[in-house]
Structure 1
Amino acid sequence: MKKEECFYLGKIVSKFSFKGEVLVKLDTDEPESYSRMESVFVNYNNNLVPFFIERCALHKSDLLRIKFEDVDTEEDADDLMKAELYLPLTLLPKLDGDQFYYHEIIGFKIVDASFGEVGIIKAVNDTTAQALFEIDHNGTEILIPMNDEFIDKIDRESNVIHVKTPEGLIDLYL
């Protein structure tokens, strides 16, 4: 399994018991959705390695307490500290309407109500306070904030996102 075929689920942040249990900080708004998993991929030495789960349960609402098969001691758990967990993209729940996962809109066309066709989304920058569409407009990068007020409609069938940006925003880049 390759990282590109998976989504980031969370990171092992601490040991929970002397029997190899660990706590995982989940990167999700719905942690309860992941309390019945049978396995995950652990990024171990830069390889995604499948780990089977004996049991897991929510711990203090946003942490997941996991007991992996064959991780039976504190030393075994130490070896997994700070490791990232991944699941296949196929396990993501389908979103509809104006909700989307960042990875699914790469390659979508952006069309602005005033400007017209802006370009193709090449990436999403979520390292800033406001996530941004990174758009390729004939070799020029245009950044548009992923603001609910700017997004009019998402057409999944034709891979187009219709936006209505403030006057002059796109012109700043041209």
Structure 2
Amino acid sequence: MIKKESVYKIGKIGKPHGVDGEVSFHFDDDIFDRVDADYLILEIDGILVPFFLDEYRFKNDETALVRFADIDSQERARELTGCDVYFPREHVDTDADQLSWAAIVGFKVVDDRSGAVVGEIESVDDSTINTLFCLLTTDGNELLIPASDEFIVEVDAESHTITMDLPEGLTEL
């Protein structure tokens, strides 16, 4: 059984494309192309299921047209519409300089001064010029922290932690 901790979300399946089982795949991270993936993981009714790729082609920078093995009709493809798509963390290069924003969702943020875990990254907001980590703190609150290089001390991809030198008082906001 595939566990949620071993994968990270990279996109969502859109509508079927044509009649032979091809679907549109709206992605946030093109890791599936960069590491030559054999399969993607779809969440179906709360269960993570691997689907092997037959072929794909890019429609634009955010959408690919994908054909999965054994999905050979528009009806079968329609069943996948709206499914979240995940990628296995084990296939991701652990070089911190190569990690995408999507790959660090689920990482713990550690305060460099105290060594305490501030929270877990739930999402990354890169819709503005100032990218933000959206954290769920250890006491259950939401907190926004600037994802600035000047605050990031170390990224440890193997232990899924980011150590940050946070400005005093930022975690009390």
* Distance in 2 between residues matched to 1:88 and 1:75, nearest whole Å: 27
Structure 2 matches for 1:99-110, cutoff 5 A? 101-103=103-105, 105-106=107-108, 109-110=110-111
Aligned residues: 163
SS in 2 for 1:19: coil
User: Could you tell me whether the CA contact under 8 Å between 1:32 and 1:58 is conserved in 2?
Assistant: no
1:131 deviation in Å?
2.1
Q: Does residue 131 of structure 1 match 2:128?
A: no
Residue matched to 1:93? 93
Q: Give the equivalent residue in structure 2 for 1:4.
A: 5
Alignment of 1:104-119 (within 5 A): 105-106=107-108, 109-111=110-112, 116-117=113-114, 119=116
Indicate the percent of aligned positions where both proteins have the same amino acid. 18
CA distance in 1, matches of 2:123, 2:143: 12
Q: Runs of 5+ in structure 1 lacking a partner?
A: none
1:76: which partner in 2? 76
Distance in 1, matches of 2:151 and 2:99, equals 10
What runs of 5+ residues in structure 2 fail to find an aligned partner? none
How high is the TM-score relative to the length of structure 2?
Answer: 0.73
Preserved CA contact (<8 Å) 2:8 2:89:
yes
CA contact (8 A) 1:119 1:135 kept: no
Instruction: Measure, in 2, the Cα distance between the counterparts of 1:12 and 1:151.
Output: 35
Superposition RMSD in Å:
3.3
Match status 1:151 vs 2:148: no
SS in 2 for 1:153: strand
Query: Is contact 2:111–2:166 with CA below 8 Å preserved after alignment?
Result: no
Measured in 1, the distance between the counterparts of 2:133 and 2:57 equals 31
Q: Structure 1's 20 and 144: CA in aligned 2 closer, same or farther, altered over 3 A?
A: closer
Decide whether the 8 Å contact of 1:133 with 1:146 is kept in 2: no
1:19 corresponding residue in structure 2:
20
The structure with more radius of gyration: 1
d(CA) in 2 for partners of 1:85, 1:99: 18
